[in-house]
Amino acid sequence: MDKRPALTKLAEDENDFRMAIREFAEAEIKPLVTEMDEQAQMKPELVKNLFEMGLMGIETPEEFGGAGANFTTACLAVEELGRIDGSVSVLVDVQNTLVTNAFLKWATEDQKKKYLPQLASEKVGAYALSESSSGSDAFALKLKAEDKGDKFVLNGHKLWITNAKEASVFLVFANVDPEKGYKGITGFIVEKDMPGFKVGKKEDKLGIRASSTCELTFEDCEVPKENVIGEVGKGYKIAIETLNEGRIGIGAQMVGIAQGAYEAALSYTQTREQFGKALSANQGVQFQLAEMRTELEAARLLVYNAARLKDSGENFVLEAAIAKLYSSRAAEKISSLTIDLFGGNGFTREYPAEKFWRDAKIGQIYEGTSNMQLQTIAKLELSK
């Protein structure tokens, strides 16, 4: 059953929307979390359910089959999913805050009509920027796109591409004129079945294990010129602006992971007894819980502030960097303290604490490392 019309209505009320996503996550995702983590595999039926729930096209206008909600609503969904599983959370995050956002802002009308309905109803999207030589230096791209008249021919590799195994539509950044440096970077819409394109090995990761992270290979991959997104040579602008928005989404994912860890710690300390009383009866434990709750709330408010600035059309780059930096640190700290409060149980896979910590670690690495966020914050502050 397609639940997207109901989601569109729920998006009008923030609390109703949040509770609908929470109920979905508890019922449909939670029973699968351990198995997906151990097998490092996203359940195909779960991906189908995400589409049916309308979570893969939250900002997509209703005319293209989406919920027609705003960016903040998408972040709320990412947060609630992260509370249960970071892998599902990032799948939905990349689909909405990176891929769909790029289409909404930069695609032609024909591209929107063709791809947005697919991305809202059945096709997973991936965002392909990173390469072996371009991590934090995102524009040191070596993937080359050669102009062949009515098409471009792509040759090279991409690494660490989230959603790659499940995706059918890829936003790929390549350089049409390496001598121009970043001014040669161009965005392309690549479909999975295009000749010369191949999804390679899946990385075996510490955390968010069910989320696929793969290498992409391009060997004389022919991409029609009508699949250029934005203008030729303007791909760097698309990448920068989309990543600025995506950082808020990762902040929301980290808040969700931190919330899940905190709730686990709160529940465990209230039921686990030592020396004849619950752990939570000890003032030292109470203080740790209070610190965790305070860090969590601060992270959440920073993310919400950045998201709402984005929705209101105001400059949000500084706030996005701050939110991403702080929330990723908070998630790792809170999930680490959760392991401490679980004691020996926290170090075993029988309990949820260790997985929250494993999933949280990536927050300080992808979509801009913590050092890159610090650099952005300092640069913007010093330029005032």
State the catalytic residue, choosing from 80, 215, 295, 367: 367
Is residue 367 annotated as a catalytic residue, yes or no? yes
Q: Give the per-residue SS3 of the chain.
A: CCCHHHHHHHCCCHHHHHHHHHHHHHHHHHHHHHHHHHHCCCCHHHHHHHHHHCCCCCCCCHHHCCCCCCHHHHHHHHHHHHHHCHHHHHHHHHHHHHHHHHHHHHCCHHHHHHHHHHHHHCCEEEEECCECCECCCCCCCCCEEEECCCEEEEEEEEEEEECCCCEEEEEEEEECCHHHHHHHEEEEEEECCCCCEEEEEECCCCCCCCCCEEEEEEEEEEEEHHHEECCCCCHHHHHHHHHHHHHHHHHHHHHHHHHHHHHHHHHHHHHCEECCEEHHHCHHHHHHHHHHHHHHHHHHHHHHHHHHHHHCCCCCHHHHHHHHHHHHHHHHHHHHHHHHHHHHHHHCCCCCHHHHHHHHHHHHCCCCCHHHHHHHHHHHHHCC
Q: Catalytic residue numbers?
A: 367
